[in-house]
Amino acid sequence: MKSRWQDSEADQFRSRYAACGDDVALRVYSSRLLGRESALVLHGGGNTSVKTTAMDLLERSIDVLCVKGSGSDLSVVEPAGLPAVRLQPLRELRVLEALSDQAMVDAVRGALLDSKAPNPSVETLLHAFLPHRFVDHTHADAILVLTDQPDPAVHVRAAFGNDVVLLPWIMPGFPLAKAVAAAFEQNPGCRGIVLAKHGLFTFGDSARASYERTIELVDRAERYIAQQIGGLPAMLLDEPAPLPAAERRTVLERALPALRGALALPLDTAVGPQWQRVVAEARIGDAVAAFSAHASAGPLCATNPVTPDHVLRTKGHYLFLSRDDAVDPGQCRRAVAAFASVYGRYHAAHGTRWSRVMLPGTPVVAVIAGVGLVALQESRKAARIAADIAEHTLAVKAAAHALGRYVPLTDEELAAMEYWPLERAKLGPHKALPLAGQVALVTGAAGAIGAGIVEALLDNGACVFATDVDAARLQVVATRFAAHAGNLATGTADVTDPASVARLFAAVCSTFGGVDVVVPNAGIAHVSRLESMDLATFAKVMAVNTTGTLLVLKEAARVFRQQGTGGNVVVQASKNTFAPGAGFGAYSASKAAALQLSRIAALEFAELGVRVNAINADAVFGDDEVPSQLWQEVGPGRMAARGLDAAGLRQFYKERSLLKATVLPRHVGEAVVFFASERTPTTGAVLPVDGGLPEAFPR
């Protein structure tokens, strides 16, 4: 590992945060350097601090400790993420023999200069008790390889000599703070303190000194491991090979819907059975695939995590599945049930001391033999965090196994951390959006209505795969919703081509794990009277609007069946299904056929728990950036026939509706969200979104 410190960058931080002073500015800089090294900390792990001065309300200079807020991410930390606490009252606590968690929290929050600041780290007292201006704490992979062993001292001494002090596992909080302070005072020349099965503390009188001491010690650990086992992680070498990359993807596309369905939790509601679903994030690179093929992969997945901080994000154990079991919905459900049963026994034996209420016992991470790993959580962000942690966990377990024997925390020690209120508080408050955990597929997403549907689904918490045949227009939509990039994926597809539609659903499954909301929205228009209708053009309109809907329904049914958790199909039909217009025969006939297909699907998909409904929209123009392709086709003729310009045509359609309303793409999107939210036990319905047109009332 190399130092990434650059004086020029440090000066930029001094300038950017000049109002906070050099100490805090450089603390932010070096904290981000640590946070950007995934082999040091991941997603809220680790913490840093600096001792400096601030002015109190009486304009007196006081000593303060600026320490990372609990659960915040070092890689993006800002000065506000290092809340300042009065140092002296915290240091005075060291004389106590014991201090309860609640009393510790009260003391730390009571010392805050700003009562609205985030909660300081649970290790604030540890930072306060050490004398150094700068203190860094990481969960470095290489350090954990050395300490998750039967006798950590053997490897720590071999790697560092007397340059570090090794402490056994101690629960974070007041006892650990006192132990670390005492260890330093007994060894004032040490360059760091290693906490078994936890991580590393380093310190210094400057941000650079403390940071580079972390890098130095981790580099020494990495070099020692490489000397002993020939690299990180050695157990992945010279073992049965994983599947080739293409075959991994094929297995994954089949396995994810089955696994995702097995992990969905049933919810009893007033409108019938519903599901709390999860989103998948898969990792099938060569290294993790090689681990999954190893004979020791299964036993290692059944061991506790490399550091207890990870239990919050991934649970203690990982589910291990053979390839055959992974693609079989029934076997997946049995494997998940067995996992949950083991977790229940773990909680009964060790967790009830901390909480009578058991956390969900289903797995968060699954490892598929020869393929790789999958993390499944309620949100894409949480799934990605869990997958990142799982990749590092497998690498550490592999290296520790090769170095000696992997020995993590005991179940009793892990349960104390998993159910510790101060640890769980790191996750912060959580309020799920209505469609959290759901995956939606929207075809024709590059048009005005498609973009409105995508927007509404994203805003309500769904992960969305947006597809269109027009790559350029699809990119415009992707750019518009860049703020949702983590929950939005795009890909081109031709809905008239069965192979293209099959590839589309495979892409959705490999990206998010499956699909719950399917919106066949792709459509084209053509203006022609019947007597002059071009048959080839008529066939093209029918192919997109009708056959395209059929092909999407066919593939959706296959995935719905594999998941076994119901779902929703919302067909974008048209006001023209009930109130066609002259010169619009091809479009009206094709949309009427699509509506009829949706009604047949409502009959046939009910056995899968899938609801199928339709939306009849009208006069949805879009905007200059994402215009309606239909109105680009028919608008010029309508304007010429009525002697109107573009603005006049919009006003005409607004005024002809009962509600005198402008129908926006987002209105159609909200109708889709209504059906996807399953607030009523409705299937086979047609919902007009047209401002009110009597001739188009469903009947």
Q: Residue length, the chain?
A: 699
CA pair distance 301, 219, nearest whole angstrom: 27
Ramachandran sector of residue 692 (left: φ over 0; alpha: ψ -120 to 50; beta: rest): left
CA pair distance 234, 391, nearest whole angstrom: 15
- Give the number of C-alpha atoms closer than 13 A to the C-alpha of residue 403, restricted to the C-beta side: 35
269 sits in which H/E element? strand 265-269
DSSP state of 372: E
Cα dihedral value 84, 87, 93, 94, nearest 10: 120
Q: Which two tokens stand for residue 576?
A: 């023209």
Query: What residue ranges in 305-437 does DSSP mark as E strands?
Result: 319-321, 365-368, 372-377
- Give the number of C-alpha atoms closer than 13 A to the C-alpha of residue 442, restricted to the C-beta side: 33
CA distances from 335 to 129, 151, 162, 288, 343 (A): 47, 34, 47, 21, 12
Residue 535 makes CB contacts below 8 A (sequence gap 6+) with none
| Helical ranges in 240-327 per DSSP H | 245-263, 286-293, 297-301, 311-314, 323-326
CA pair distance 164, 166, nearest whole angstrom: 6
**Could you check whether the bond before residue 299 is cis, i.e. omega within 30 degrees of 0?**
no
What b-and-e string marks burial along 271-295, b requiring 16 or more CB atoms within 10 Å of the CB?
eeebbbbbbbbbbbeebbbbbbbbe
Q: Give φ, ψ of 668 to 5 degrees.
A: -65, -40
What b-and-e string marks burial along 437-468, b requiring 16 or more CB atoms within 10 Å of the CB?
bbbbbbbbbbbbbbbbbbbbbbbbbbbbbbbb
334 sits in which H/E element? helix 329-346
Q: How far is CA 77 from the centre of its chain?
A: 19
SS3 21: coil
CA distances from 130 to 100, 136, 140, 520 (A): 20, 11, 20, 62
587 is catalytic: yes
Q: Which of 318, 343, 419, 587 is catalytic?
A: 587
What b-and-e string marks burial along 132-144, b requiring 16 or more CB atoms within 10 Å of the CB?
bbbbbbbbbbbbb
CA distances from 168 to 172, 176, 196, 409 (A): 12, 10, 5, 11
Q: Which residues are catalytic?
A: 587
